[in-house]
Structure 1
């Protein structure tokens, strides 16, 4: 073998060994994800301090033990879902800085409270002075403390009421809840103690935060376990930015995307504002490649309703298969109508 070829082979092998031995990047609370720009306006000019999704138990089986990286928008609902998923890294994102500040208040309370009972006590009215001292002592810079105090002072009463409601809902559904179940609570608290919670102001349709999260997650050798989108998708089209952001996330057939939608033309859970949908990561990626799908409603119309209850759907098919199944369902419905006539 010529000397130059031998040298080239040696260099190639050395490079391969170097790459193989290079440690994976770790995804922790210290990871610096870039924030997206502050939005020009908020939806309905409102801070959504708490969730109004009252049937989150419908997501339990879909997210249970998914592990991996959990990405979620919104507020309190993420702790419930992430505990069920046994998320290994928790990424909490919202384009409203006030919700980001509220999550940082949650963090201080999780770290201060060893039990769910103590955590709930800290949200009560009589604990206000104690929590304010906690924020003053551990809330960061003077500016950051002011932000946290403002978020806590505005949201406290709503959060206290919401958490009580979640306890009642999960008890009625016979499901574990981080506000009662010691293991679920310990998991979320452990994520905070282990510095595995990232809180960032991010916009699903902007260019920085989600794209950066996708890159860092892949570099860390991790996969997405759960992506929780709440009802955010109903407010924007599936434009190039959104498709690019979601495709950047390492989603596969083991990942699950969970969302709600209050749009017309799809079934809603009885007594609820919302339709509840779960979707495999591989199915979502396939739909993102489909240019005919211009928004979430155009996708959800093909999501089979499980009927347990009506208003809950599961989508694991790609667009071609889903549309064909929908056509067959319509055809069968027409044939039954003709037969009755």
Structure 2
């Protein structure tokens, strides 16, 4: 049987002359090269896997909190989110991002819901207010001491566990039951002592006297919140009077409850990360010279990428403060990211499908949640196509 690459010709003398047709062989070699290239560029085994730790020691965790942080800045401190619609973008967020990356965020408890949804390997919460870092450490201690949502809410608000709650209870049932339970002052005192002991004696985190006072102030404010669990300064729960229960029992844009207290599964995602020291709160200015860049370098050192960056409405203020917005986007540009990395932001207005005028405009403390591809925005910034806050919102979708 003759090879396809071989032709035989008979001479006048009857001898056989073999002429090899090299084109099929060259084509075959080309196919092999193309296939090899396809395997090389599509197979995960050819890319360096991230080297993010599965757990941080207490010493490493605290050094990261301390070394990555900048000096505390001045901005109104709120004890909880005031973004009622913060879950509305989660279905699209989950469809866009990849689990196993690094989550970046700002502010208090709303980050836990986004972490439960995106399931990163690590998370960094950067906020200009040192109180925010301390509040996250209070949460950390309570997560670690609570094996389920029922125990967690009991410790968070210093209320005895009501009868009838189970692992299958909805967040609405959970908060309805606790709303009928009185705050327990003795329980508050015991809980505060347990939180301090866990952070200082078990983890050996080092606090100043001012830190100690802030921890008590924050936890006492939560305790004094009242039946509706409103715990912003002055008891207003943010600009719109949203209560903790409002936020925890809210649903996404498709009617599914997504908060970190909606299910035991969501709760466990966050709790396990807290137990492993993988949610790192940092004091830092988005436009500052250190915090974000130190986190970015850490990701580079570990071959990791950003999966999601929740900015709330911080960018609105950065555009009101000279070139702070440029410094912020320059900081973001240092992060390793791929096409799936996504900004999550809050705004008072939004555009749809390239509309000239906002298709949704909200007043007062009302916010719409928006998503935006990180890489696309940074490319536009590098090309000089971002000049004002409106340019950022136009590139974001509800």
**Equivalent residue for 1:147?**
214
1:1-32, Cα deviation, whole Å (9 max, x unpaired): xxxxxxxxxxxxxxxxxxx9999464865352
1:176 CA drift (Å):
3.1
Of stretches 166-175 and 112-121 in structure 1, the one that deviates more from structure 2 is 166-175
**Equivalent residue for 2:248?**
167
Cα contact 1:163–1:179 (8 A) shared by 2: no
Which has a greater percent of helix? 1
**Equivalent residue for 2:302?**
220
Structure 1 unaligned residues grouped into runs of 5+: 1-19, 304-312, 315-341
**Equivalent residue for 2:335?**
249
CA distance in 2, matches of 1:164, 1:21: 43
1:260-296, Cα deviation, whole Å (9 max, x unpaired): 1136974236997123210112212222214242233
SS of the aligned residue for 2:92 comes to helix
Aligned residue pairs: how many? Answer: 282
**Equivalent residue for 1:334?**
none
Please identify the structure whose Cα radius of gyration is greater.
2
Cα contact 2:344–2:371 (8 A) shared by 1: yes
1:296-333, Cα deviation, whole Å (9 max, x unpaired): 32231354xxxxxxxxx25xxxxxxxxxxxxxxxxxxx
1:157-190, Cα deviation, whole Å (9 max, x unpaired): 4594433122321399322332130111001000
Alignment pair present for 1:176 and 2:239: no
Alignment pair present for 1:233 and 2:266: no
- Larger RCO, structures 1/2 (Cα 8 Å, 6+ apart): 2
**Equivalent residue for 2:81?**
51
Of stretches 238-247 and 261-270 in structure 1, the one that deviates more from structure 2 is 261-270
Structure 2 unaligned residues grouped into runs of 5+: 1-46, 158-182, 201-205, 231-242, 351-356
1:59-208 matched pairs, under 5 angstroms = 59-64=89-94, 66-67=98-99, 68-124=101-157, 125-126=183-184, 127-140=187-200, 141=206, 143=208, 144-158=211-225, 160-161=229-230, 162-170=243-251, 173-208=255-290
Closer, same or farther: CA 49–295 of 1 in aligned 2, 3 Å: farther
Q: Structure 1 length as normaliser, TM-score?
A: 0.74
Q: Structure 2 length as normaliser, TM-score?
A: 0.64
1:78 CA drift (Å):
0.2
